[in-house]
């Protein structure tokens, strides 16, 4: 029996060399988020991770924490981030959008209301980094019913659970390249590459690597070992620099600078 293609799969145009950028919704302002999302798509983004700013982020490094504060100061919330997706669509963003949020805001929102909001606003995927596989059964079933992918994470500390996590993965499997918080890394350790290869043995969906990818050389290395690469802190830092440029010159120059830096990062 053929399984129904999810909305996520329907919008994904390839399953190799996936470029998955992360940005913080509302940083520095909701209108700017739309502009940066469009620029990312123009430069080849295959999936957009739309991060919901949170006041107590367990996995976020200082760059993303600062962006989250800017977004929270601008009034962003989980509800507003989800409701931003139709605005992105109207502006021309056609790639799958994955809402990246911690579990506490989801719990406060309520599972039923939250899943209903995801469905009504056309969200294709959901990623909750602090929700372990063992505690995700309820949301996993609810998202499946609504044709929304619940993205799984697998980390080097998941050694005994790699097979189980990978076999249940949907959409793509987020492979955490290193321990600790997000942020740029100068190099990717050899043991990380071996870990990626092991994860790929069990996964039937694309394996994308995140945490620390911040240079063109690292992007090229990931293309050889994984199905995709996730870039967060580096792109958020580029947005911050772009905003500063806008203050000193104009909006057009700030966006041009962002696109130029992005091109160097993913295309060399």
Q: Where are the domains of the chain?
A: 8-267
196 vs 190, which has greater pLDDT? 196
**C-alpha dist (Å) from residue 75 to 27, 106, 108, 227:** 10, 17, 17, 36
List the single range of 16-20, 188-192, 251-255 with lowest mean pLDDT: 188-192
- Residue (of 88, 71, 75, 145) closest to 122 by Cα position: 88
For the question of residue 227 being annotated catalytic, the response is no
Given pLDDT bands bounded at 50, 70 and 90, which one contains residue 211? confident
For the question of residue 60 being annotated catalytic, the response is yes
Residue with tokens 């009034």: 75
Residue 181 has a pLDDT of 40
Residue 2 has a pLDDT of 38
Q: Report which secondary-structure segment, H or E, holds 212.
A: none
Q: How far is CA 248 from the centre of its chain?
A: 30
Residue 4 has a pLDDT of 66
Residue 60 has a pLDDT of 62
Q: In this structure, which topology does domain 8-267 adopt according to CATH? A: TIM Barrel (3.20.20)
Average pLDDT in the chain: 90
Are residues 190 and 197 in contact, defined by beta-carbon separation less than 8 angstroms? no
Structure tokens at 267: 């295309």
pLDDT tens profile 225-248: 999 999 999 999 999 999 999 888
Residue 212 has a pLDDT of 82
Q: Which of 46, 60, 149, 246 is catalytic?
A: 60
Average pLDDT over residues 101-115: 95
List the single range of 3-17, 84-98, 170-184, 240-254 with lowest mean pLDDT: 170-184
Given pLDDT bands bounded at 50, 70 and 90, which one contains residue 3? low
Sign of the torsion angle spanned by Cα atoms 197, 198, 203, 204:
positive
Q: Which of 17, 31, 42, 49 is catalytic?
A: 49
Using the CB atoms, write b or e for 15-25: b if 16+ within 10 Å: eebbbbbbbbb
Q: How far is CA 163 from the centre of its chain?
A: 22
Residue 178 has a pLDDT of 64
Q: Is the pLDDT of residue 27 over 80?
A: yes
Are residues 227 and 206 in contact, defined by beta-carbon separation less than 8 angstroms? yes
């Amino acid at each position: 029996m053929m399984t129904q293609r999810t909305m996520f799969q329907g919008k994904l145009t390839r399953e190799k060399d996936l470029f998955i950028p992360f940005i913080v919704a509302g940083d520095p302002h909701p209108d700017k988020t739309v502009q940066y999302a469009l620029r990312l798509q123009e430069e080849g983004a295959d999936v957009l991770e739309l991060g919901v700013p949170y006041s107590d982020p367990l996995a976020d490094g200082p760059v993303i924490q600062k962006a989250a504060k800017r977004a929270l100061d601008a009034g962003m919330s989980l509800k507003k981030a989800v409701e931003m997706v139709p605005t992105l669509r109207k502006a021309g963003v056609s790639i799958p959008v994955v809402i990246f949020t911690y579990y506490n805001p989801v719990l406060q929102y309520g599972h039923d209301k939250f899943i209903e909001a995801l469905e009504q606003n056309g969200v294709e995927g959901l990623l909750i980094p602090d929700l372990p596989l063992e505690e995700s059964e309820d949301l996993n079933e609810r998202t499946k019913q609504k044709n929304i992918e619940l993205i799984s994470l697998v980390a080097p500390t998941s050694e005994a659970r790699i097979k189980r996590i990978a076999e249940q993965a949907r959409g793509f499997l987020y492979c955490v390249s290193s321990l600790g918080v997000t942020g740029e890394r100068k190099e990717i350790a050899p043991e990380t590459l071996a870990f990626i290869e092991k994860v790929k043995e069990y996964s039937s969906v694309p394996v994308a690597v995140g945490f620390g990818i911040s240079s063109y050389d690292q992007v090229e290395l990931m293309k050889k070992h994984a199905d995709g690469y996730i870039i967060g802190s580096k792109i958020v830092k580029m947005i911050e620099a772009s905003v500063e440029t806008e203050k000193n010159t104009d909006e057009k120059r700030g966006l041009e600078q962002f696109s130029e830096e992005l091109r160097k990062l993913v295309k060399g």
